[in-house]
Structure 1
């Protein structure tokens, strides 16, 4: 079993695509628990959650309220899990279709592995044409590359 935790803060524009990337991957859906941890969103994020529940009735998707910031929201989700694996993805991210399967296979093949991280691939189509925003995107990319 895998817990996939997605922090939500005004994520209406990206949440459906993020959750769909988890649900439509190659890992068995019955072994995935998706938890959306809301941090005082003021947009239509909750309605997107409801739409996803209706669109994917066999998926286990839950909504938690956490008015504590992203790190505390993740800790709250972590303390409420009993599954073997815990995965975090931002609401504007997408999982590769084999990401969860590859992760579990790595953990099972090498029990000494205690943590994994993925790579971030920029979606060029979503980068604004403003030079300031392109510069910000480039700086963020280098920050992630240095961290991981």
Structure 2
């Protein structure tokens, strides 16, 4: 059994499960689709890589290649979540609004060359820094708990 992988997957699952009640607490909207969706509080991507890095640090030490690999993976994933994917989500919002903008500019008569999009692009792709930080804290705690459980013989 690969305890490091199991630890990371548990952290991803925990973050996904937490998204539903946190979303409800913030918006009073019940959205069970958050269980499998991207974006939101906390970041499950950050939770998974932080769990892997903290587990690896406690199991093998911070001067090992295993920890270096887990840490670099975590840095890349969290940077991507906060920057590239978040910006892609912001661009998706603007693209989704284009139909309305074109129709306004055309005075409600966009003409034969404009066809309204049937499906909107997904806007919730990335994370705000607080969502990434919360995911990282959750993951680090799960990773540490898993490593300590292995050392204590509970796993």
- TM-score, normalised to structure 1, is 0.27
| Structure with greater proportional strand content | 1
Q: Larger relative contact order (C-alpha < 8 A, sep ≥ 6)? A: 2
Q: Which has the higher helix share?
A: 2
Bigger Rg, structure 1 or 2: 2
